[in-house]
């Protein structure tokens, strides 16, 4: 059984009829090449996982972030105007329909499919452009390189939810899923822009109107952060917390 998450609810099985109808076109439309599953003692793939926390403001981390082989960013997080603190390189951007933005030609679009409609939306983006709504209005198309599309397997999202978060919260945050992906495909993982502000709210570096409490939202921000701290203690990752 293939599982995925449906917005606002708990972990749900994908509807298999819709899924099999959708997966065929997906595989014919997008290349199935880059899995980053190679490994060798000589390989040192450095990755910066850049969350959207306001702790990036005045951090001056831009140059350090840009110095990584892979730079993962999430959702609509901008770089323009914030280069000094967040850098300008984006090798991979994790999105879902509701958070999509235009991408540069060299950036990988990494889709996190939370529901079957997200897969259908991705097909539509590059073909008919006729999906304009999910649970809210979404962009019918975005600028993105079709040959650089990557789709996270919903099974990987379930694994992160069950094995790393012990099913706490409704589903893992985008940033947490990308951090887990980085741990699997990178040799060195440096983490930027994660963590709530001192008042316990999830502010963005680019938008001070976002102030969802980490403990009250669909993501158990506190639980995720505890896992991240443990990974840091065990020297699996390095955290850059701002100043
Ligand atoms: O809010 P958004 O999901 O777009 O942010 C991207 C990711 O950055 C989140 O999924 C979360 O993992 C991380 N984040 C954080 N602390 C914040 C804001 C975001 O850890 N204050």
What structural domains and CATH numbers belong to the chain? 3-31+43-116+144-240 (3.90.1480.20)
Collapsing DSSP to helix, strand or coil, 124 comes out as helix
Task: Quickly state the pLDDT bin for 162 (edges 50, 70, 90).
Answer: very high
Residue of 51, 99, 152, 224 to mutate, ligand 1, most atoms within 8 A of C-beta: 51
| pLDDT of 200 strictly over 80 | no
Task: Quickly state the pLDDT bin for 220 (edges 50, 70, 90).
Answer: low
Measured in Å, residue 158 CA sits from the centre of ligand 1 at 19
For ligand 1, atom 1, the nearest C-alpha belongs to 52
Task: Quickly state the pLDDT bin for 2 (edges 50, 70, 90).
Answer: very low
Task: Quickly state the pLDDT bin for 20 (edges 50, 70, 90).
Answer: confident
Which of 35-49, 62-76, 80-94, 109-123 is least confident? 35-49
Cα–Cα distance for residue pair 76/181, rounded to 1 Å? 19
Q: Are 114 and 125 in contact (CB under 8 A)?
A: no
For ligand 1, atom 20, the nearest C-alpha belongs to 194
- Mean pLDDT within 55-82: 97
Please report the pLDDT score of residue 98 as a whole number. Answer: 96
Cα–Cα distance for residue pair 82/70, rounded to 1 Å? 19
Please report the pLDDT score of residue 3 as a whole number. Answer: 42
Nearest atom within ligand 1 for CA of residue 173: 10
Cα–Cα distance for residue pair 161/73, rounded to 1 Å? 20
- H helices within the chain, ranges in order? 16-29, 62-66, 83-86, 116-126, 154-159, 174-185, 221-233
Q: Which residues pair with 46 in a beta bridge?
A: 188
Please count the residues of the chain: 243
| pLDDT of 199 strictly over 90 | no
Q: Are 92 and 108 in contact (CB under 8 A)?
A: yes
Query: What does the angle CA 206 – CA 74 – CA 210 come to, to the nearest 5 degrees?
Result: 40
Q: Are 152 and 3 in contact (CB under 8 A)?
A: no
In the annotation, is 76 catalytic? no
Longest dimension (CA), the chain: 50
Cα–Cα distance for residue pair 104/92, rounded to 1 Å? 10
Read off φ and ψ for residue 126, nearest 5 degrees.
-100, 0
Q: Are 188 and 47 in contact (CB under 8 A)?
A: yes
Q: Are 240 and 48 in contact (CB under 8 A)?
A: no
In the annotation, is 171 catalytic? yes
């Amino acid at each position: 059984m293939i599982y995925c998450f449906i917005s606002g609810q708990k972990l749900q099985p994908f509807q298999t009829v819709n899924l099999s109808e959708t997966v065929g076109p997906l595989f014919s439309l997008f290349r199935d090449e880059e899995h980053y599953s190679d490994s060798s003692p000589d390989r040192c793939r450095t990755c910066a996982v850049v969350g959207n926390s306001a702790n990036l403001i005045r951090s001056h981390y831009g140059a350090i972030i840009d110095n990584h082989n892979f730079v993962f960013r999430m959702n609509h997080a901008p770089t323009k105007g914030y280069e000094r603190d967040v850098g300008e390189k984006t090798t991979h951007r994790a999105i879902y329909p509701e958070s999509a933005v235009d991408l540069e030609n060299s950036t990988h679009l990494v889709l996190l499919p939370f529901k079957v409609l997200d897969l259908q939306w991705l097909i539509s983006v590059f073909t008919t452009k006729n999906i304009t709504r999910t649970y809210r209005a979404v962009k019918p198309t975005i600028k993105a390189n079709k040959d650089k599309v990557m789709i996270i397997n919903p099974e990987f999202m379930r694994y992160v939810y069950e094995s790393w978060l012990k099913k706490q919260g409704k589903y893992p945050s985008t940033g947490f899923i990308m951090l887990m992906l980085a741990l699997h495909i990178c040799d060195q993982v440096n983490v930027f822009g994660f963590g709530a502000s001192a008042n316990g709210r999830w502010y963005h570096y680019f938008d001070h109107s976002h102030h969802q409490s980490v403990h009250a939202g669909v993501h158990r921000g506190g639980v995720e952060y505890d896992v991240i701290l443990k990974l840091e203690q065990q020297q699996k990752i390095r955290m850059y917390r701002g100043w």
